[in-house]
């Protein structure tokens, strides 16, 4: 065996020793380990039990990484669900809308329900732990490498068949071209080979680069489409890739359904059913009546304050003003348009600030809002009773505003003299 300094073209990179048995490999690994080398590796066609100890490889720290990422995943899953569903009712208005949580009430459960959250927490934990395992393993092994200098050795090809190799890197602090070669030669290898710089620098294969660029470009398309959809408007109906909720099979009214004894798809209400919010025991509040007479007052639970009148103003402007007008004169935009188009049979909405409504009892107005009158539709199912009373308070304020004396207004709120 030649123990002189190995001859090699170019700079010496590593020394590669070839063995013909697994026993020789393990013994060699133990000797190299004992010689204090740190930057070296062994290669074999199959996993060798005990090679870790023979090489003095420290146990991997990967489990800790996986555990920590599992915990992070656990916390992320919990936080995600808490944020998306439990904070909708909290005051996070200063955040952009797409960062705010929802306020969905699901099956009457609390907004933050741990049992419902556990499956997602579990999945996110597993996802984070699995990604940490995979990516951490790659990172700790400095993978992926698309090339290895060992591929430059013709002998090394037999590592997949029946040969075992020890490779010591020239960058090892203990490396000494002659001394290391002697050490390896003493281990009974079938061959020791110096490895030099590869003739061609390691380059990514051309096809792989092109394929990677194509895939990366294609991957940009979905986010681009999403961005375009977010930033533009379209008159077309939205696309529903999954038609489960938009178009579902269902029974229509008056159809037959043989699941029931009476074969009717429409189910009768359970005897004794009452609709939500039905008047029960407070006709003053729910009907505007006391002893069958329209009340002139407000119910005791309705406090007419500045804020309730403002609430009434807001509701009025939403529900009433399109027809009755912002000032209550019966000149809303719906009416104005109908008059402009000469709609046949159009009756102009009542002027709320006129004498007719001024003299009408609160209870009567309440009844009109609830059930509608002539062409006016009922609003009882859209406006809760308290808001109807607030609207009445606002209508009273509008009426007052049409017949106010200068003396009724505080001096500092007089309009500018013209």
164: left (phi over 0), alpha (psi -120 to 50) or beta: beta
Shortest separation between residue 165's beta carbon and another protein, angstroms: 20
Residue 163 and residue 16 in contact, taking contact as beta carbons nearer than 8 Å: no
What burial letters (b/e) apply to 325-335, b meaning 16+ CB within 10 Å? beebbbbbeeb
Shortest separation between residue 108's beta carbon and another protein, angstroms: 8
Helix (H/G/I), strand (E/B), else coil: 333: helix
DSSP per residue over 42-60, as a string? Answer: EE-SS--TTHHHHHTPPPP
Please give the helix or strand (H or E) that residue 398 lies within, else none: helix 385-402
Shortest separation between residue 153's beta carbon and another protein, angstroms: 28
Nearer to another protein by C-beta: 73 or 189? 73
Nearer to another protein by C-beta: 64 or 204? 64
Task: By CB under 8 A, tell whether 173 contacts another protein.
Answer: no
First to last CA, the chain: 116
How far is the C-alpha of 115 from the C-alpha of 67, rounded, in Å?
23
Helix (H/G/I), strand (E/B), else coil: 18: strand
The 10 Å Cβ neighbour count of residue 218 is 9
Residue 361 and residue 389 in contact, taking contact as beta carbons nearer than 8 Å: no
Shortest separation between residue 139's beta carbon and another protein, angstroms: 20
Task: By CB under 8 A, tell whether 63 contacts another protein.
Answer: yes
In sequence order, the β-bridge partners of residue 12 are: 196
Instruction: Give which of 43, 304, 298, 203 is closest to 290, Cα–Cα.
Output: 298
- The region of 106-114, 241-249, 253-261, 342-350 touching another protein under the rule CB under 8 A is 106-114
**Contact with another protein (CB under 8 A) among 46, 47, 221, 407:** 47
Nearer to another protein by C-beta: 62 or 309? 62
**Contact with another protein (CB under 8 A) among 49, 203, 206, 276:** 49
Shortest separation between residue 49's beta carbon and another protein, angstroms: 5
Nearer to another protein by C-beta: 47 or 173? 47
Task: By CB under 8 A, tell whether 45 contacts another protein.
Answer: no
Shortest separation between residue 118's beta carbon and another protein, angstroms: 6
Residue 181 and residue 39 in contact, taking contact as beta carbons nearer than 8 Å: no
**Contact with another protein (CB under 8 A) among 107, 248, 254, 306:** 107
Question: In Å, how far from its chain's centre is CA 44?
Answer: 47
Helix (H/G/I), strand (E/B), else coil: 242: coil
Shortest separation between residue 114's beta carbon and another protein, angstroms: 10
Nearer to another protein by C-beta: 74 or 265? 74
Shortest separation between residue 90's beta carbon and another protein, angstroms: 24
Structure-block tokens of residue 255? 């159809």
Percent helix, percent strand, percent coil in the chain, to nearest 5:
45, 10, 50
Task: By CB under 8 A, tell whether 119 contacts another protein.
Answer: yes
Task: By CB under 8 A, tell whether 50 contacts another protein.
Answer: yes
Helix (H/G/I), strand (E/B), else coil: 249: coil
- The region of 107-115, 185-193, 265-273, 368-376 touching another protein under the rule CB under 8 A is 107-115
The footprint of another protein on this chain (CB under 8 A) covers a number of residues equal to 12
Task: By CB under 8 A, tell whether 115 contacts another protein.
Answer: yes
Nearer to another protein by C-beta: 77 or 325? 77
**Contact with another protein (CB under 8 A) among 45, 57, 61, 67:** 67
Nearer to another protein by C-beta: 62 or 304? 62
Task: By CB under 8 A, tell whether 307 contacts another protein.
Answer: no
Nearer to another protein by C-beta: 115 or 292? 115
**Segment 98-107 long-range contacts (CB within 8 Å, at least 24 positions apart):** none
Nearer to another protein by C-beta: 140 or 336? 140
**Contact with another protein (CB under 8 A) among 118, 209, 336, 356:** 118
Instruction: Give which of 39, 59, 58 is closest to 167, Cα–Cα.
Output: 39
Please give the helix or strand (H or E) that residue 41 lies within, else none: strand 40-43
For residue 276, CA distances in Å to 143, 152, 258, 339, 381 come to 65, 82, 30, 38, 10
Nearer to another protein by C-beta: 68 or 333? 68
- The region of 82-90, 95-103, 112-120, 344-352 touching another protein under the rule CB under 8 A is 112-120
Residues binding another protein (CB under 8 A): 47, 49-50, 63, 67, 107-109, 115-116, 118-119
């Amino acid at each position: 065996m030649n123990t002189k300094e190995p001859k090699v073209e170019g700079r010496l990179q590593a020394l590669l020793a070839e063995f013909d048995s697994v026993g020789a490999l393990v013994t060699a690994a133990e000797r190299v380990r004992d010689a204090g080398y740190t930057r070296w590796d062994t290669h074999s066609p199959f996993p060798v039990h005990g090679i870790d100890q023979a090489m003095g490889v420290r146990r991997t720290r990967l489990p800790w990484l996986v555990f920590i990422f599992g915990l992070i995943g656990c916390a992320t899953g919990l936080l995600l669900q808490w944020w998306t569903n439990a904070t909708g009712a909290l005051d996070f208005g200063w955040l952009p809308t797409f960062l705010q949580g929802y306020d969905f009430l699901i099956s009457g459960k609390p907004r933050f329900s741990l049992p419902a959250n556990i499956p997602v927490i579990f999945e996110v934990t597993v996802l984070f732990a699995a990604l940490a395992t995979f990516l951490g393993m790659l990172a700790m092994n400095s993978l992926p490498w698309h090339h290895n200098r060992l591929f430059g050795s013709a002998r090394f090809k037999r590592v997949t068949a029946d040969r075992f190799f020890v490779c010591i890197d020239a960058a090892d602090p203990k490396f000494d071209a002659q001394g290391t070669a002697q050490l390896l030669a003493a281990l009974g290898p079938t061959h020791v080979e110096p490895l030099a710089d590869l003739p061609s620098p390691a380059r990514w294969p051309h096809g792989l680069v092109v394929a990677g660029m194509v895939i990366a470009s294609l991957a940009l398309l979905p986010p681009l489409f999403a961005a375009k959809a977010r930033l533009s408007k379209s008159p077309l109906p939205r696309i529903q890739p999954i038609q489960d909720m938009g178009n579902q099979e269902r029974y229509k009214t008056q159809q037959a359904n043989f699941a029931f004894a009476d074969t009717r798809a429409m189910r009768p209400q359970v005897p004794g059913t009452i609709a939500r919010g039905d008047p029960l025991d407070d006709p003053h509040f729910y009907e505007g009546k006391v002893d069958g007479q329209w009340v002139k007052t407000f119910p005791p639970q309705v406090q007419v304050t500045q804020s309730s009148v403002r609430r009434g103003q807001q509701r009025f402007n939403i529900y009433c003003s399109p027809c009755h007008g912002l000032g209550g004169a019966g000149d809303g935009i719906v009416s104005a348009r109908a008059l402009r188009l000469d709609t046949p049979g159009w009756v102009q909405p009542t002027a709320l600030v006129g004498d007719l409504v001024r003299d009408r009892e609160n209870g009567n107005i309440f009844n009109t809002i609830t059930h509608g009158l002539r062409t006016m539709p009922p609003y009882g199912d859209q406006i809760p009773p308290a808001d109807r009373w607030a609207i009445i308070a606002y209508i009273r304020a509008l009426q007052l505003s049409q017949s106010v004396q200068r003396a009724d207004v505080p001096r500092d709120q007089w309009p500018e003299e013209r």
